[in-house]
């Protein structure tokens, strides 16, 4: 189980079958340097450009279409004492009649205090002078090369992952992606120090990061959409517009998960979901929106789970 450092010279603004920056074995760990969404590194040097320059791809030996790539997120370390957001909110998350009264979308700097574990405005408004929030680092954009020969902008997301901007992709979570090309070709970047649901500011607190992930292949258990698991939850992710379609994808994928791994017939799976499901809105800003379908592990604990 080797450990690799990845600090590439070249970054990608699309996710597709690009030449691997690194090739590893299943079970290996990678410590990757990622740029912020505009391409800046921890020293404030611009080494890539928007949208969301990706570190990678990382090829995993032996990965084939139909496999699953499990990505255990071990650590997401801010590489900088500042980050940035936009002021105001995305136009589409407020009533259309309010759009003309919203603040301009200026770039705003935040302090990212790694000692205190807090984020606060670098030049706070009067009202927010004493206001801070705990850091909660997450990966905004990651995933594997898409199916069907597609090469997709890192502005958006799909069955392969991509720019999902979902809070639960944080340290301690294992994400699962459906492999569509030989080697899987895993990309990551666009870390956020903190972000609310929906990425409704159009950004989280954007930052360069050092991200440690352990990559592992799972054979013979194909999936259709990204999935995830924490100590407390299992979840599935749908990426599409409108929100209703993203929700349909996520719910359908959870039905399949309950059937295949927890041995529930569809009637039983529907009963469990109907009474216990939680939905999270990952992003309601990108070209494709993200909805997660989430269950507490305690809910499915009574069922024998496939190893």
Q: Which CB, 2 or 97, lies closer to a second copy?
A: 97
Footprint on residues 89-128 left by a second copy (CB under 8 A): 89-103, 108, 119, 121, 125-128
- Binders of a second copy among residues 67 to 86 (CB under 8 A) are 85
Return the range that interacts with a second copy (CB under 8 A); candidates 3-11, 36-44, 60-68, 235-243.
235-243
How far is CA 224 from its chain centroid?
16
Note whether 223 binds a second copy by CB under 8 A. Answer: no
From 62-70, 181-189, 229-237, 298-306, span contacting a second copy (CB under 8 A): 298-306
Taking CB under 8 A as the criterion, the residue among 122, 182, 218, 299 binding a second copy is 299
Q: Is there binding between residue 242 and a second copy (CB under 8 A)?
A: yes
Question: Could you tell me the smallest distance in angstroms from the CB atom of residue 217 to a second copy?
Answer: 25
Residue 95: exposure state from Cβ atoms within 10 A (0-12, 13-18, ≥19): exposed
Q: Return the sign of the alpha-carbon dihedral for residues 291, 297, 301, 306.
A: positive
Of the candidates 227, 211, 210, the residue with the CA atom closest to the CA atom of residue 294:
227
Binding positions for a second copy, 164-183, rule CB under 8 A:
none
- The 3-state DSSP class for residue 124 equals coil
Tokens 């030449």 belong to: 19
Residues 298, 307: Cα–Cα separation, whole Å: 17
Which is nearest to 143 in space by CA: 128, 130, 158?
Answer: 158
Is residue 23 a contact partner of residue 186, using CB atoms and an 8 Å limit?
A: no
CA–CA dist 303, 173 (Å, integer): 21
1 or 276: whose CB is closer to a second copy? 276
What's the closest the beta carbon of residue 252 comes to a second copy, in angstroms?
A: 4
Positions in 7-66 near a second copy (CB under 8 A):
13-14, 16
Taking CB under 8 A as the binding criterion, the range among 35-43, 62-70, 183-191, 193-201 that sits at the site for a second copy is 193-201
């Amino acid at each position: 189980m080797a450990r690799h450092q990845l600090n590439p010279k070249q970054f990608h603004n699309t996710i597709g079958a690009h030449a691997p920056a690194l090739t590893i074995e299943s079970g290996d760990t990678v410590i990757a340097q990622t740029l912020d969404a505009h391409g800046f590194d921890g020293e404030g040097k611009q080494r890539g450009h928007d949208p969301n320059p990706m570190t990678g791809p990382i090829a995993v030996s032996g990965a084939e279409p139909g496999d699953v790539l499990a990505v255990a997120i071990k650590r997401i370390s801010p590489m900088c004492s500042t980050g940035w957001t936009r002021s105001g909110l995305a136009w589409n998350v407020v009533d259309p009649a309010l759009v003309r009264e919203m603040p301009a979308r200026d770039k705003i700097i935040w302090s990212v205090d790694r000692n205190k574990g807090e984020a606060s405005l670098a030049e706070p408004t009067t009202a927010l002078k004493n206001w801070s929030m705990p850091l909660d680092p997450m990966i905004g954009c990651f995933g594997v090369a898409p199916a069907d020969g597609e090469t997709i902008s890192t502005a958006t997301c799909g069955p392969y992952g991509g720019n999902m901007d979902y809070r639960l992709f944080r340290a301690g979570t294992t994400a699962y992606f459906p492999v569509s090309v030989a080697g899987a070709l895993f990309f990551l970047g666009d870390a956020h120090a903190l972000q609310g649901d929906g990425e409704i500011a159009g950004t989280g607190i954007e930052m360069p990061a050092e991200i440690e992930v352990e990559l592992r292949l799972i054979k013979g258990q194909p999936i259709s959409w990204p999935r995830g698991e924490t100590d407390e939850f299992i979840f599935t992710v749908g990426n599409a517009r409108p929100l209703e379609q993203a929700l349909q994808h996520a719910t359908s994928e959870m039905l399949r998960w309950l059937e295949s791994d927890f041995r529930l017939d569809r009637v039983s799976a529907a009963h469990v979901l109907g009474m216990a499901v939680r939905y999270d809105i990952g992003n309601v800003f990108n070209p494709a929106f993200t909805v997660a379908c989430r269950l507490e592990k305690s809910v499915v604990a009574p069922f024998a789970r496939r190893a």
